[in-house]
Amino acid sequence: MLSEHVINLPRKVVVGIGVIGRVPTYFRELGLQSPVLIVTGPRIYNVVGKRFEEMLVDEGYETSVIRIERSHIDTAQEILEVAQELKASTVVGLGGGKSIDVAKYVAAKLGVKFVSVPTAASHDGIASPFASIKGTGKVTSIRAVEPVLIVADVEVIAKAPRRLLAAGTGDVIAKFTAVLDWRLAHRLRGEYYGEYAASLAILSAKHAMRYADIIGRGDVEGARILVEALISSSVAMCIAGSTRPASGSEHLFSHALDIVAEKPALHGEQVGIGTIMMAYLHGKNWRLIRKTLKQVGAPTTAKELGVGEHHIVEALTIAHKIRPERYTILGDKGLSWRAAENLARITGVIS
């Protein structure tokens, strides 16, 4: 039992068609102040960022825009310095995971409000207080800050490449094995376990799985279903105060694959394949998970992922070392090469 458990949640979540056009209204409702710093990508700025900036300027908000190409600590530190010079009161992450993670990091360091405006449903960091920043010496997420406002325009999100929707499905389905690992750590190591946060994460995964055929169409309805599931799983992390309900052995596998593969795939794609294999280790219905991923067009084999079969096996053997303090089904010693190879072959990840 924790002596104190603090839960910080987003104050407003808006999901719908055309909602990005009402951002100034949401800003006023929440009392968000100038100067506003918008972190986005070059392509996203041309697609929707310029209009986003102009809307705020027209409503009297002092606004600055920084376009980034990567989510790296050097980039984040440079933007932090700019934000400090601007005396930014609100930081907006407009785009995919890179923009949202960097904006989240900067807002946390400044102690100001963070606004999340996803343009793709490819990850579950939309509402979580954790950021994935490369170059920190850690391959895992770092603590940042949760958004006060989330604006998810499903019309914009549906226009993103279909591959991103598939990756997002992989990330949300991962909650099945993440929660099993969390429960295992609670039972074997006495780690704190939050039943409500765990249940919410599982509900998010079940929601995406139930409507996989609609998500697979890649239309507005599918985008709405997936982004709501991703937001829900992000909130589970806010409630838990850690990434435990969303990240387990399947994420450790993905982080390990990032290390060993010459050209890693998208995070959600790798996590999806990791979930297939970890579900097998947990004795769960891995075939159903594989079927769901296929329905949305996500990869289920090393070949489809674009990595070597030996990379899959190697990643499995070192995954337990990524976060030794985080106990999962992989245990303290991990898998032997032979066990890893058998696991990948039985689940059809390698031939």
pLDDT given at position 3 = 67
Strands 142-143, 113-118: pairing is: unpaired
Query: Which residue(s) pair with 64 in the sheet?
Result: 37
The DSSP 8-state label assigned to residue 146 in this structure reads -
Location of each CATH 1.20.1090.10 domain in the chain? 163-346
* Spans of the chain, pLDDT less than 50: none
Cα separation, 256 vs 278, in Å, equals 14
Q: What's the CA dihedral at 347, 285, 304, 331 to 10 degrees?
A: -60
Location of each CATH 3.40.50.1970 domain in the chain? 12-160
For residues 84 and 111, is the Cβ–Cβ distance under 8 A? no
pLDDT given at position 213 = 96
CATH of the domain spanning 12-160: 3.40.50.1970
Cα separation, 44 vs 183, in Å, equals 39
User: What is the Rg, in whole angstroms, of the alpha carbon atoms belonging to the chain?
Assistant: 20
pLDDT given at position 70 = 84
Cα separation, 174 vs 185, in Å, equals 17
pLDDT given at position 134 = 86
**pTM (whole model) above 0.85:** yes
The architecture in CATH of the region 163-346 reads Up-down Bundle (1.20)
Cα separation, 308 vs 302, in Å, equals 6
